[in-house]
Amino acid sequence: MLVAGVGILAAFVILAFMAPYAAPYDPIFQDGTARLMAPSPAHPFGTDNFGRDVLSRVVWGARIDLQMAVIGVVFPFLIGTVVGTLAGFFGGWVDVMFMRIIDVVLAFPFLVLMLSIISILGPGLSSFYIAMALVGWVSYARLIRAQILVLKTQDFAVAAASLGFSRTRIMFRHLLPNALAGSLVFVMSDAVLVLLSGASISYLGLGVQPPLAEWGVMVAEAQGFMTQAWWITLFPGLAIVVLAFGFSLTGDALADLMGVRE
Amino acid sequence: MHRYRFVLFRPLQFLPVLFGISVVTFVLVRLIPGDPARILLGTRATPTAIANIRAQYGLDEPMWTQYLYFLKNLGAGEMGKSTLYKIDVLRLIATRVEPTLALVLAGVVLALLIAVPFAAISARRQGTVADHTVRVLSTAGIGFPSFWLGAMLIILFSVKLDWLPVSGYGETLFDKLTHLVLPGLTIALSLSAVLTRSLRAGMVAGLQSDIATAARARGMSENIVFWRHVVPNALVPTINLLAINIGWLIGGTVVVESVFALPGLGQLMVRGIFSRDYMVVQGVALTFAVATVLINFVADIITVALDPRIEL
């Protein structure tokens, strides 16, 4: 499972880095003589309504969609980890305050809150990242907090405190490394959620903007041509499914490996 | 009856959350750069209309007074006016609730119809090819983007087979139902992936439980043991799982309504974002958040009613 999952992820990373060499055509080159062509040896995934090669666009899309999944996970992870550590370690009013904020964020349907924030920041990829950072940290904060609450009563933490180590040192050098396993597993399922959200928001026209080849954007652009050209819709979506599957498999394998139950 | 005591006390715990929801939606609109009165009314507002809005929302007063005005207006069922549709946001929302509600219901019902048989096959034939297939599909299914799934269903059932309408909603009940099949199926396929995993785990545990052993000892056939004793027990946690996922489900309707041009709340919100109709965006976000809190509460009541062992 781990091999399959990591294999899929590695394949997409290589594809993203090698896009200029792996893609047979320029992803935004419009060939007026080759519009809406069905898959053929020259264009294995066919062409779209502008005569752009769908395979090349799917390959280049790996760059944007992978970047979206990675950046969309990293910031919430960092913010959530710090907040969760502080809330769990200090308890008291710090904990109460953060937990109330988390309750409110979780009361909103995830995508609805994302869209509300994007409506104010304006459409675009950077708005998506900001909205993601503002909303996504809560899951990590809850996971880490729960771990820290248990860990801080254990002997090694008490020993560290009695040795006179600073609170910062105990929090980040002793407690946090032991608390991370669960959220590292969660990173993988979160990456699926972030990928799907980013692609969905781009599909709605509020994320990545055309003519950039992002998979959600490609499906949105294909919608006017569903009656004539199924291939423009099929392939970008399949790319999302396979990449998401790679994240899920890796996550499941990591959970087994580390003995973490989700 | 003490098991139901939480029905009285839980709403008190909602108060801080509802307060937070109102603050977030209030702040969201105030964060938009520019004159709030103009933002609320659109660029072509008359000076009198702007003066009226300033008075109604107390826009010349400090922020916290403005927030109190906002609450007072909310209490009176006043969410402002849509700049695009020129009617009250609450009334606009009321006209759009039905398709969204119908879509969620259709999605949940279809998801159960898909998930229960698949989980049953998987749990009763552990380790077989069928079991592995179901498990791989339910893992992969979580990563299916709903906008793409919807588009593929349209291509298959509307374009190629011509069985169902491509998009829209319709007037008569029958018309509406036919328009809901594909959007409902889109939601259901993603949701059933989540449900199948949990149902399978519940059924596997149930088949090995003392209840099942006792039933077998009384000479019941394996089918009766499974469908009468194992399945009902495996379904109880599903209600909670649905409630936990309600936010995700509502997010799904927002996307699916856009794919199928269903005139529901999600589509209203997305169009509101594009037309800078901020009062509509605020109103829909508020409605969805309050609905999420209420649905979780109702799910708790149902869970307690269904399983006498659970205490909240």
CA distance B248 to B252: 6
Rounded to two decimals, what is the model's pTM? Answer: 0.89
Burial call A141-155: b when 16+ CB within 10 Å, e when fewer: bbbbbebbbebbeee
ipTM of the complex: 0.89
Cross-chain CB nearest to B281 (options A103, A116, A216): A116
Q: How far is A166 from chain B (nearest CA, A)?
A: 35
At B312, the pLDDT band (50, 70, 90 cuts) reads: low
CA distance A57 to A68: 16
Compare all CA atoms of chain B with the CA of A245 and give the residue at the minimum distance. Answer: B140
Compare all CA atoms of chain A with the CA of B294 and give the residue at the minimum distance. Answer: A107
Domains of chain B, with CATH numbers?
2-75 (no CATH), 96-306 (1.10.3720.10)
Q: How far is B181 from chain A (nearest CA, A)?
A: 19
Say whether residue A245 is in contact with chain B using an 8 A CB cutoff: yes
The CATH homologous superfamily of the domain defined by A2-11+48-257? MetI-like (1.10.3720.10)
Cβ separation A117–B28 shorter than 8 A: yes
pLDDT, tens digit, for every residue of A111-168?
999 999 998 888 899 999 999 999 999 999 999 998 888 888 888 888 888 888 888 8
pLDDT, tens digit, for every residue of B242-291?
888 888 889 889 999 999 988 989 999 998 888 888 888 889 999 999 99
pLDDT, tens digit, for every residue of B95-141?
889 899 999 999 999 999 999 999 988 988 888 888 888 888 888 88
HEC string of B194-254 equals: HHHHHHHHHHHHHHCCHHHHHHHHCCCCHHHHHHHHHHHHHHHHHHHHHHHCHHHHHHHHH
CA distances from A115 to A108, A119, A209, B31, B257 (A): 11, 6, 15, 15, 15
Omega before A41 cis (within 30°)?
no
Q: Rg of chain B's alpha carbons, rounded to an integer? A: 24
Best B138, B147, B276 residue to mutate vs chain A (most A CBs within 10 Å): B147
- Per the DSSP assignment, residues forming a β-bridge with A53 are A47
Cross-chain CB nearest to B285 (options A101, A112, A234): A112
Tokens of A207: 């994320």
